[in-house]
Chain A
């Protein structure tokens, strides 16, 4: 019998949307393909949800 809480589990949703930025080790920042700093584009961050509290993420052990 599986633990009680797992009766309420659901498949984890991992975003498969490619982020339009990449890490630049020289700047130590993620940079958009047009050269702008991704973190300065709050509209984009809201749209992507990459700063959002998640559940079941492989990379986030703490929400």
Chain B
């Protein structure tokens, strides 16, 4: 039984997991949907009431029925590295690949439907509240007056992207930033704006969830953090991440979140306040983990490999393993 990894070639973080799968002797086929068609090929037939499908890449051939798990890590958009890319070909290739894979019995990390839903940050906030995770007071609005009223109630605010994505034309980053006390909120009418009460943080928390296992890391904030960057991604202090325990009540909330979101993997961001409370910021359903493992030594890659290596329900090991297309 084979683990299928969908990711780009430069994803060295995925390599950390492939190394463990290789050590365990678990067959792996790794491919980037961007190379379909071309470097990646597929075929599936629906005949006599059954389905038989195959994928091939770099000389490896695997049957869709022989997949134990699919790890959707950092895949390129289908058909974007082909000789003649087009939006139509991308849609055709996407439908063919993911449509066939949806028919397999493989376990997903994460299923495309769950991943798509989990990318909605406002939905995350709602789900976090339902699961009992502390969520900072938040407003998402296009009403300037609502923004002004919110700023009167919560004078110390941050602004962040609603989607978590960044403009590409030209390429810009939208870090979580403190809102100036005298900010003019008129521009709120020009686009949905997410305003959130700033939590005076004692530390940033990165909690990586793999199945039922929770691996948390803590990065202490500088004592004068109020004047430093709000967004940990822009913190150049070099303070390392250190392993930390997950409070039991919070662990229950995170597991509830994962269950409701139908996620097998999630990288949660929290900030810890002076009282030790962990405030939920977001869950990245395909978030990076290598930087945490490098600092803390936590076995995140190995845990992911172990999750991926488990056989799918109703499948027995040794069936449909990856084999050379030439054999």
Contacts and interface: CB of A to CB of B under 8 A. Distances in A.
Interface of A: 1-14, 19, 21, 23, 25-26, 28-30, 37-40, 42, 45-46, 49-63
B28 A8 contact: no
Interface of B: 5, 8-10, 12-13, 15-16, 18-19, 28-30, 57-59, 74, 119, 147, 159-162, 164-168, 170-175, 177, 185-194, 206, 231-234, 267, 284-291, 293-295
Contacts of A60: 74, 288
Contact of A53 (B30, B147, B233): B233
B266 to A, nearest CB: 10
18 contacts: A3-B191, A4-B190, A5-B161, A6-B174, A9-B167, A19-B10, A25-B9, A28-B5, A30-B12, A37-B15, A39-B15, A46-B295, A53-B267, A55-B174, A56-B172, A58-B171, A62-B119, A62-B287
Nearest to A48: B12
Nearest to B171: A12
A51 B13 contact: yes
A2 to B, nearest CB: 6
A4 B183 CA distance: 10
Nearest to B5: A28
A41 B57 CA distance: 27
Closest 9 CB pairs of A and B: A51-B290, A3-B191, A56-B173, A39-B15, A23-B9, A12-B171, A8-B177, A25-B58, A4-B187
B10 A51 contact: no
B121 to A, nearest CB: 11
Given A23-B10, A28-B28, A46-B294, A4 B188 contact: yes
Contacts of B30: 28
Contacts of B12: 19, 21, 30, 38-39, 45, 50-51
B164 A39 contact: no
